[in-house]
């Protein structure tokens, strides 16, 4: 999975790619696969599989990189190929200018560039408001990198619709700039609900709760990494009990494994 702490501290850079190869469930996988097929097949037919592969892989990396910058100080986990798929969609808008897109919730075709604008704005608002269990930042990073990758391979197409390309690119860069300059959402925007800031003892209580939770998550991660590397038998009885207790406290469920399961998982 995508895990900033594992990437930055333990140098597990492969997670930038492997997180795009796993999904939470079959529905998650099916939606990404359908979207990838719908837009990727046209790119492959017109430009070949090499172009499609380069756009897809670079978009996964782009989505992971933006998420890494934004969540570098957070306890954060993510998985799925959505960043790569968004890159393929934006690349198809550039590589096949003048097209239109139909959405499931909007069964009428809309110009591709208008879809791009709507997607960028909705993703940014979704990220700021924390809508759904969705990595909106990875979507944005993947979309922008997919567009740039396509433009880098075929710069002559920029002149086919220069205003469309410039408008989408500038909006993308502006949104990414706002994400990077204000990763903690300290600046409140008009569409955000304004809640009173905690003061005094309440602020200290929240700080202590968050600090204690982060320490527990770090300890649990260390135990799980030890199991992944050396097997469940490498844990003492006390460590097994500690792992089960931390899992119950943090996630509301136990993570008890026996030796056979651990070996199979490894």
pLDDT tens digit sequence for 104-124? 666 677 777 777 777 878 777
From 75, 187, 76, 95, select the one nearest 138 (Cα to Cα): 76
- Whether the predicted pLDDT of 259 surpasses 70: no
From 209, 238, 243, 241, select the one nearest 228 (Cα to Cα): 243
pLDDT of residue 230: 84
- Whether the predicted pLDDT of 60 surpasses 80: yes
Judge if pTM exceeds 0.85.
no
From CA 153, how far away is CA 155, in angstroms rounded?
6
List the structure tokens of 181: 């300059």
Task: Please give the backbone phi and psi of residue 2, each rounded to the nearest 5 degrees, phi first.
Answer: -75, 125
Name the helix (H) or strand (E) containing 184: none
Residue span(s) of the chain under CATH 1.20.1540 come to: 4-181
- List of residues 6+ apart from 52 with CB closer than 8 A: 40, 43, 44, 88
Number of C-beta neighbours around residue 170 at 10 A: 10
Per mean pLDDT, which range of 20-29, 46-55, 179-188 is the poorest? 179-188
- Whether the predicted pLDDT of 197 surpasses 60: no
Provide mean pLDDT across the span 61-82. Answer: 86
Half-sphere exposure of 176 (CA within 13 A, CB side): 20
pLDDT tens digit sequence for 152-195? 999 888 887 788 788 888 888 888 777 777 766 666 666 555 55
Contact 141, 87 (CB under 8 A): no
Using left for φ > 0, alpha for ψ between -120 and 50, and beta otherwise, residue 197 falls in beta
∠25-37-124 over CA atoms, to 5°? 70
List the structure tokens of 191: 């569409």
pLDDT of residue 266: 39
- Fold adopted by 4-181: Rhomboid-like fold (1.20.1540)
Q: What percent of the chain has pLDDT over 70?
A: 81
């Amino acid at each position: 999975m995508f895990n900033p702490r594992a990437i930055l501290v333990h140098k597990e850079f492969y997670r930038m790619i492997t997180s795009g190869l796993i999904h939470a469930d079959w529905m998650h996988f099916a939606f990404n696969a359908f979207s990838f097929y719908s837009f990727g097949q046209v790119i492959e037919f017109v430009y070949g599989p090499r172009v499609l592969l380069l756009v897809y892989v670079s978009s996964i990396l782009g989505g992971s990189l933006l998420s890494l910058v934004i969540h570098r100080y957070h306890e954060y986990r993510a998985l799925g190929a959505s960043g790569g798929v968004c890159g393929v969609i934006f690349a198809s808008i550039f590589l096949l200018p003048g097209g239109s897109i139909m959405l499931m919730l909007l069964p009428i075709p809309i110009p591709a560039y208008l879809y791009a604008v709507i997607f960028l704005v909705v993703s940014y608002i979704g990220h700021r408001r924390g809508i759904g269990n969705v990595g909106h930042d990875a979507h944005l990073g993947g979309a922008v990198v997919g567009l740039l990758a396509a433009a880098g391979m075929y710069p002559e197409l920029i002149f086919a619709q220069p205003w469309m390309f410039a408008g989408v690119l500038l909006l993308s860069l502006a949104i990414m700039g706002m994400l990077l300059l204000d990763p903690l959402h300290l600046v409140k925007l008009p569409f955000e609900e304004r809640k009173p800031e905690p003061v005094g003892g309440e602020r200290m209580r929240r700080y202590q709760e968050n600090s204690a939770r982060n320490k527990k998550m770090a300890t649990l991660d260390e135990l799980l990494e030890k199991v992944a590397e050396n097997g469940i038998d490498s844990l003492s009885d006390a460590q097994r009990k500690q792992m089960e207790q931390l899992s119950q406290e943090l996630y509301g469920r136990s993570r008890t494994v026996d030796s056979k399961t651990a070996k199979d998982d490894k």
